Amino acid sequence: MVNTRWKSLMFIASLLAVTFALPAFAQKGKKTDAKAAEDEEMTFEAEDVSKTLISKKMVRGEDFFKKAEKAMNENAPQEQILVYFQSATIYLKQVLAKDNRDDSPDTKQKAQYIMGKCLYYMGYYSASKNYFEKIVEQGDAHPYYKMTLKYLVSLQQKMPESAGILPMIGKYSEEYLDSKDLEAFRSQLLYYLGRYHYIDGRLEKAAELFAKVPANSKPSEGGYFLKAKIFEGITLVRLGKPVDAIKRFNAIIIFAQKNPTFPEIGEYLELANLSLARVYYQAGRVAVGLFEQTRKPAFAKMSEKYLQLSITFFEKVPQNSHNWLQSLFEESWAYFILDAMLRPHFKKDYGGFQKALGNIHTLNAPFFENHFFPESLILRAVIYFQNCRVESAQEALAEFGRVYPKLQLQVREVADKHKSGDEEENDTYFEYIKKIMTDKAGLDPRLSRLVKSQLKDRTFERRIEFIDELNREIKQLDNSDKSWRSSDIAREIKEDLEFQKMNAQTEAGKLARDRVRRLDDELTRLVLQYGDVKIELNNLKLKKVTAKAMATRSAKVDVMNVTVDDEHVIWPFTGEYWQDELGYYRFVVRSTCGGN
């Protein structure tokens, strides 16, 4: 991106004297080339489409663009390069004017392409995108359609994903990827085309494209292979092909073993492990469901295998990862199913209740007050209920009841802000969300933290990044030289940036409201579960279930089935949390069901 500032107007004036013809910076009292271009007489009454017409405006615009390219290649001062690009855009804007008859359609098409490149190198990516988009809309009818694709790849890399570049890339057919001109971009293009089809719901096509991204140990190429394998695996899961998905995630692990120093390989490895854990967990749940329906031992064995594999991969997520707490929570359900549903069949203690309760203890440690796992309290109550520990279950429910029913109503109030009937003022809602994010909305601290935790959603963050990019370009334009800032092309860019910003803020406001509503729905579901578990606990307490009736609930288990090595000891929890203990807690769960 070219820096928009330059040292002084005197420098520009001296540069103009050298280049002879620069429209935006002539000395006072003399007619500028730009003005002269505007005053040129129309040579033709109407466009003659049978031959190419090239005006002096186009010649000068292209000439200044070539000078800028040469200056960039020679590492000339940024100020000099910028002046050349600015001059080119002023002339090109005149060429593209609707009332210009001095240039034929093919000349104007070339001007569109050069304008897009000028704005790209000047750092006005959104404006550049708009000119390239006009080319993409014409498809093969535009002579610069294929050449535009590599600039779209560059824009996709420089701009947030919500900027809308992917749908433009998605208009290209695969045959363009075989072009020698695009050979260096093939991996990126296959990945981006796959993403486009994935977002649009064409999963089979997306998986096919992701599969074509070649493995490569070069950082510039290998990153796209790893991204493609992650998305291919996710796509295959959605297509109901978990076995194939597992192979794709394993491919990332194999790549990491062969290329341990590859940039950011740890992050890709973590995503692969987490994805494998989730695939195996879902497979385990399906198998245990089939076992419950059919009572066939093979399904129980299958469920045991998959759940234990899921735990193995959950345990691989490192403690310093932002996914660690979520992995602890999901792992707790795998442990719960092992003890609650498979222990009675295999007569085996998996230590699942102990580990699940230990994980829940970690999740609710004071170190993580900005992270919320309300369902973990419901799970704690269910575990104690499963072991007929009525008082412990009631304590867990009471902890949930003190916080979340009230919080759910407050969340709903936040979701309904700036809304009149069915009409939503999402632009205003975005401003309200900005206040929440900066703790200026006057919300209760716990409510504020809960809402902000939902807005860490990557999709919402991309919207904010796009707004930040638009603000950057607006600021760059406002700080540009006054002479160019007052030109037609600069005014067009400013108006378009302001319009895009307004739309982006409205869309971000709507997305934020949707996220808060999703939180409201989730809390409402948990509050209903909370009520159901309370009823079950009351029934258990009132009926005083006999030992014989409850004996089938749980097999006899060891009190503390924990193996320690020379570097670890079993240490009782005395009410004080230590960070090096997080993730290692175990709870003694003595079942009072029947004679156990």
Q: Is residue 31 part of a domain?
A: no
Q: Is residue 574 part of a domain?
A: no
Question: Tokens 């234990």 label which residue?
Answer: 308
Q: Is residue 346 part of a domain?
A: no
Handedness of CA 182, 183, 188, 194 (dihedral sign): positive
Polymer length of the chain: 596
pLDDT for res 46: 43
CA 486 to the chain's CA centroid: 37
d(CA 95, CA 102): 8
Listed in sequence order, the residues at least 6 apart from 525 whose beta carbon sits closer than 8 Å to its beta carbon are: none
Q: Is residue 588 part of a domain?
A: no
Question: Tokens 């992917």 label which residue?
Answer: 166
Listed in sequence order, the residues at least 6 apart from 346 whose beta carbon sits closer than 8 Å to its beta carbon are: 300, 304
Q: Is residue 225 part of a domain?
A: no
* Nearest residue to 415 (alpha-carbon basis) of 522, 289, 501: 522
Alpha helices in 20-77 (DSSP H): 33-39, 56-73
Dihedrals phi, psi of 494, to nearest 5 degrees: -60, -45
pLDDT for res 338: 96
Residue 535 carries which side chain, given as an amino acid letter? Answer: I
CA 151 to the chain's CA centroid: 22
Q: Is residue 403 part of a domain?
A: yes
Question: Tokens 């409402």 label which residue?
Answer: 524
How many structural domains are present in the chain?
1
The Cβ of residue 316 has, within 10 Å, a number of other Cβ atoms equal to: 16
d(CA 478, CA 56): 30
d(CA 73, CA 557): 74
d(CA 381, CA 114): 66
d(CA 456, CA 466): 15
Judged by DSSP in three states, 251 sits in helix
Range of the domain at 528: 390-544
Verdict on whether the full-model pTM lies above 0.85: no
Q: Is residue 326 part of a domain?
A: no
pLDDT for res 179: 82
CB 107 within 8 A of CB 157: no
Per-residue pLDDT tens digits of the chain, which is 596 residues long: 444 433 343 333 343 333 333 333 333 343 444 444 444 433 434 444 457 899 999 999 999 999 999 999 999 999 999 999 999 999 999 999 999 999 999 999 999 999 999 999 999 999 999 999 999 999 999 999 999 999 999 999 999 888 999 999 999 988 888 888 888 889 999 999 999 999 999 999 999 999 999 998 788 788 999 999 999 999 999 999 999 999 999 999 999 999 999 999 999 999 999 999 999 999 999 999 999 999 999 999 999 999 999 999 999 999 999 999 999 999 999 999 999 999 999 999 899 999 999 999 899 888 888 899 999 999 999 999 988 888 899 999 999 999 999 999 999 999 999 988 778 999 999 999 999 999 999 999 999 999 999 998 889 999 999 999 999 999 999 999 999 999 999 999 999 999 999 999 999 999 999 999 999 999 999 999 999 998 888 887 766 444 444 444 444 444 445 454 444 444 444 444 444 444 444 556 666 676 54
Judged by DSSP in three states, 423 sits in strand
Q: Is residue 520 part of a domain?
A: yes
pLDDT for res 183: 85
Handedness of CA 549, 550, 552, 558 (dihedral sign): negative
d(CA 297, CA 526): 33
